[in-house]
Amino acid sequence: MKISIFSLPEIKLGKYNVKDSRLDQVDKITKAKKKTYVQVELVGQDAISEADAIITTKDFRADLILKDLEFIETRLGRISDAAEKAIAEKLKGVLEKEELVSSAGLDEAQKKAISAYSLATLRAVVIAEKEELENLDNLLFRAVREGGYISFFTTGEKETRAWLIRKGISAWEAAGSIHSDIQKGFIRAEIISFDDFIKFGGENAAKQAGKMRLENKDYVMQDTDLVNFRFNK
């Protein structure tokens, strides 16, 4: 996941681990040899088109909106397709109200129609307050969530690890985030919810309490699911 930093020179660009207290709780139980958080990349404002979310302050939110409005106004003068023009007119109205494009309620077909626009505020815009800039861990955690991502966990003797996935994807798709071979040979996903894992003190106790579920490839992953993928090698 990439997060664009807009007009915040105090935040250094680069790759960062996203600390997650929920993974810490799992690791305290399993006592694995290694603990691995998800990682994100912070990029500059020149790379907004590549980003999943933007971090800025309230003062610079208006600049993002103006940037998009100027683009839409220019584009409107060149559009000949009636359907595209209707979408652009709608977005112009939204931006003129100082609202984000992401609040326009576009469906997937409409988003596809304007995919080449690379509008900044179609992405999640995370507004950071001054005190949050001093606690980057919490700010990044919020940007990940508002950017439409969740995590699932795997654990064992060697490693307790968080994996970053888009909210709403299937178990089969999630398996591919670990390795393509696991996705290709997918049989089932053994799932324990985070709450049950913590409540019963680990995998074995949760199993004995009947809290492990066997899910197929179409199962929609939930945030902090504890997962073991079974697959043909």
Banded model confidence at residue 109, pLDDT cuts 50, 70, 90: confident
Q: β-pairing, 149-154 with 159-166?
A: antiparallel
Dump the DSSP string for 180-221. HHHHHTEEEEEEE-HHHHHHHTSHHHHHHTT--EEE-TTPBP
- Whether 132 shows a pLDDT value over 90: the answer reads no
Q: Is the dihedral angle over the CA atoms 105, 54, 143, 169 positive or is it negative?
A: positive
Q: How large is the greatest C-alpha to C-alpha distance in the chain, in angstroms?
A: 66
CB-based contacts of 72, cutoff 8 Å, min separation 6: 88, 91, 92, 95, 117, 119
Q: E strands of 12-130, at which residues?
A: 14-18, 34-36, 38-43, 53-56, 124-127
Specify if 44 maps to a domain.
no
What confidence score (pLDDT) does residue 118 get? 86
pTM (2 decimals)?
Answer: 0.89
What confidence score (pLDDT) does residue 54 get? 97
Boundaries of domain holding 197: 168-231
Secondary element (H or E) of residue 95: helix 82-96
Specify if 134 maps to a domain.
no
- Whether 223 shows a pLDDT value over 90: the answer reads yes
User: Cα 216 from chain centroid?
Assistant: 23
Specify if 16 maps to a domain.
no
Specify if 220 maps to a domain.
yes
Phi/psi for 39 (5° steps) reads -125, 140
Specify if 143 maps to a domain.
no
Report the domain count for the chain.
2
Specify if 87 maps to a domain.
yes
- Whether 112 shows a pLDDT value over 90: the answer reads no
Average pLDDT over the chain reads 94
For 154-194, how does the pLDDT look when each residue is reduced to its tens digit (9 = 90+)?
A: 999 999 999 999 999 999 999 999 999 999 999 999 999 99
Q: CATH number of the domain at 227, please.
A: 3.10.20.30
Banded model confidence at residue 111, pLDDT cuts 50, 70, 90: confident
How is residue 200 written in tokens? 């019963």
CB-based contacts of 23, cutoff 8 Å, min separation 6: 35, 37, 151, 153, 160, 161, 162
For 47-76, how does the pLDDT look when each residue is reduced to its tens digit (9 = 90+)?
A: 999 999 999 999 999 999 999 999 999 999
Specify if 95 maps to a domain.
yes
- Among 146, 168, 79, CA closest to 116: 79
How is residue 57 written in tokens? 């302050």
The alpha carbons of the chain give a radius of gyration, in whole angstroms, of 21
Specify if 172 maps to a domain.
yes
